[in-house]
Homo-oligomer: A and B are copies of this chain.
Amino acid sequence: MTVRLIKHAASDADVVFAARVSTQGADSIPAEVLGGSERGLINYLMRERHGSPFEHGSITMYVEAPIFVFREWQRHRIASYNEESARYRELRPTFYLPAVDRKLVQVGKAGAYRFERGTAEQLDIVDSTLVAAYRTAYDAYDQMLAAGIAREIARAALPVGIYSSMYVTMNPRGLMNFLSLRTHREGAAFVSNPQREIEMCAEKVEAIFADLMPVTHAAFEANGRVAP
């Protein structure tokens, strides 16, 4: 999984001027230096879920992940996407294989699943079965393209484990909503159970966010990881 920061207009200071305009009007002058009262204000906004001051900015990232991850990601509607198109280009044969530490076995019932490590044999089965299935699928794709079939038809054979790439832009509020739903944290006010693969992306998104907006991120953490 790749998540790379491309460009942004996002800093803790933006939250402050946007929030202060409600009480100060024209005197809410943007400033880049945050003191204690600014940190307190950001924490207050987060705790009370005054969300709109967290919308003034944007974070654009380049992402590479399997299609089944993109399918979940793109359900977030307060975001902008442009993705590689299997109608306009030939997809490359890059596929997802779980790492050795991926928990492979789902235990429990709907609404209360947990995951456990698989046996060595199970890991082998996943690896060999997926590799074989991916190879067959890509051969079929290649064969149809070689026969002059349109890419948009031939791609029907390709698995959701194939990698795609996209640019995604979110504002900080939408990004926190994404984090709250796509990471699992025991202490969270509302515990989510995302699929591990999108969580791996979300962790990279979170690192970028924490780097750009450390005070906001700390307030998000301190207040139960609830998107404001």
* Cα-based distance from A70 to B75 in the complex (angstroms): 11
Additional A-B contacts beyond A44-B111, A56-B82 (9; CB < 8 A): A7-B30, A8-B9, A18-B82, A25-B89, A25-B91, A87-B195, A125-B147, A125-B149, A156-B159
Within 8 A of B (CB), among A1-36: 6-9, 14, 17-19, 21-26, 28, 30
| Contact surface of A with B, Cβ cutoff 8 Å | 6-9, 14, 17-19, 21-26, 28, 30, 44, 48-49, 52-53, 55-58, 60, 64, 66-68, 70-71, 74-75, 77-78, 80-89, 91-92, 95-96, 98, 102-106, 110-111, 115, 118, 121-122, 125-126, 129-130, 132-134, 136-137, 140-141, 143-144, 147-161, 164-167, 169, 171, 190, 195
Question: What residues of B have a CB within 8 angstroms of the CB of A25 in the complex?
Answer: 84, 89, 91-92, 164-165
Contact A130 B106 (CB under 8 A): no
Contact A150 B83 (CB under 8 A): no
Contact A122 B147 (CB under 8 A): yes
Question: What residues of B have a CB within 8 angstroms of the CB of A88 in the complex?
Answer: 22-23, 110
Contact A80 B68 (CB under 8 A): no
Within the complex, the shortest CB–CB distance from A164 to chain B, in Å, comes to 8
Question: What residues of B have a CB within 8 angstroms of the CB of A28 in the complex?
Answer: 165, 167
Question: What residues of B have a CB within 8 angstroms of the CB of A84 in the complex?
Answer: 21-22, 24-26
20 A-B pairs (CB sep. < 8 Å): A7-B9, A7-B30, A14-B60, A21-B84, A22-B82, A22-B84, A23-B85, A28-B165, A44-B111, A56-B80, A56-B169, A57-B60, A71-B74, A80-B171, A96-B156, A121-B147, A126-B149, A129-B140, A136-B137, A157-B161
Q: A25-B92, A133-B137 are in contact. Are A167 and B122 (CB under 8 A)?
A: no
Question: What residues of B have a CB within 8 angstroms of the CB of A98 in the complex?
Answer: 153
* Cα-based distance from A7 to B136 in the complex (angstroms): 42
The 3 residue pairs across chains A and B that have the minimum distance between CB atoms: A156-B161, A55-B80, A58-B58
Q: A140-B133, A144-B129, A160-B156 are in contact. Are A167 and B56 (CB under 8 A)?
A: yes
